[in-house]
Structure 1
Amino acid sequence: MAYNTLEDFFGDIVGKARRGLGLTEATLADATGLSAVDIGRIEAYELTPDEGRILALAGALQLDGKKLIGIANGWVPERGNSPHDDVRLSVERTILDAGMEVNAYALKCKTTGEGAIVDAGGQANRILALAERMGLEVTHVLLTHGHGDHVGALAEIAETTGARVCCCERDFGLLGSLKELVTDPVDDGWQTKVGRIAIDAVSLPGHTAGGIGYGADGVFFSGDALFAGSMGGALGPAYNGQIRAVTNKALSRDEKTRVFPGHGPTTSIGEELANNPFFAH
């Protein structure tokens, strides 16, 4: 399976920003010269306004206007379906059906053959098949957050592999009984090694209270905190907090770093700085 579009379309981005800021359709309409009906049509993918109206929407929604126009015009990242492979590590993706399309990843230390599964949303057989195809000895399961579409296969993966399960305690309420499987509570600054690959964790709260991003040499797993051209939904203070956290802890990484999100195509830090309307460059 492969992605041909972004996870979020123009209308999704408008809706996420509007809800995140706590604006009604009527309030946004008043600020942009559009009608509330037009706002609804935009969010339902029925209307893409002209560039002048897009700039007005961007101003009212605290988004980058040029980047929002780029999204409306169909921007996609250059290597959205490409795995990562260098002398030290490799990363491959499988797209799962967990009620929606969701990504799971396998990271491999090429020196030792040890590796990690990043998120386990469902279809454990497909995740395990990916690990087997890569010749992976799974030592860790790294959870970016506790939503069901990211942990639905956790029990089977943990039982089959015997891997350490890593997750932030602030998302234990979302895990329910699955929290008993967590061996390593994760928070900002947490570190581990997968084989000889150093992994660092950063806290990216907003979409969930315990959202975590995991970084290794040249790669970053952003969960639902950051998508290609967008981000996972959040409301009120959590919305602005997520933007700050991603800006300070994810987008501050080397621009060549490849970003593997929870949903949608793979991207890079440089591409997000240049094209994601939620984040200023």
Structure 2
Amino acid sequence: MSKNIAVIGLGIMGLPMAKNLVGAGFAVSGYNRSPEKAKALAAAGGTAAGSIAEAVAEADVIITMVPDSPDVEAVLTGDDGILANARAGTTWIDASTIRPDTAIELARQAREAGLKPLDAPVSGGEQGAIDGVLSIMVGGEQADFDAMAEVFDAVGKTIVRVGPSGSGQTVKAANQLIVAVNIQALAEAVAFLEAYGVDTTAALQVLGGGLAGSKVLDQKGQKMLDRSFEPGFRLQLHHKDMGIVTSAAREAGVATPLAASVAQLVAATVQQGNGHLDHSGLFTLVEQLSSGSGDSGSTRNVA
């Protein structure tokens, strides 16, 4: 447990991951553009860094968890970034969700600079990050992956190397496709159940025990019933992810009609000003379309 770990990006996912690394006995230095998040890490036993350069200077492992491909590129290649300030031999784990082709290119640059890159996007949402039970899909060299076992075990439960650099991001894109389609199906089912006046809590309980059961139903069903969409994963980010899915599928010549349809529904919900909601907030559009009123009460009790 002698590794020094730098975590860049201490948001909904990054901060609890960093706290779990502290709890596992690692020395963790964290940087975030909003300094209060770094202070929260310091309060949990980590160290608040004032810059990326400061955070990574003595790191054996660097973990990035930032919103999008341009953000990862900036963190890696900027003057204050990882390539300019990390030591040769450092392992760079990108836990962000970005384009697979971007992941491949940035991994190439990292290797040329003497780093060991792993693209390792995660699934499980905020609660999974808090509980340290994330599913982590990793692309990169087998030896680099094997060397990070203790690090991954501190933040995740299902950790699998899925291929060379970029593969983790490809699997994450597939994950986001499945999750989005499931959320949309659940939203339509809840609206359907409510229209017939059934006991929706009981209905979701029995549905969850059968073939229709899923983690999406378990984690998002009650949010829809309560019209409470505090973000565990923001619609704005899933909108970005669906763009990755549809673009990559088009480049590969793969037909993804459900992905395309749900991507449009996610986009419409975001364009209505609801990008800050949890992705279960897709229900707001279903309810609005079902009411025919052009106005939904679905956003009450929203953070």
- TM normalised by structure 1 equals 0.29
Point out the structure with the larger strand share.
Answer: 1
Q: Using CA pairs under 8 Å that are at least 6 residues apart, name the structure with larger relative contact order, 1 or 2.
A: 1
Q: Which has the larger radius of gyration?
A: 2
Point out the structure with the larger helix share.
Answer: 2
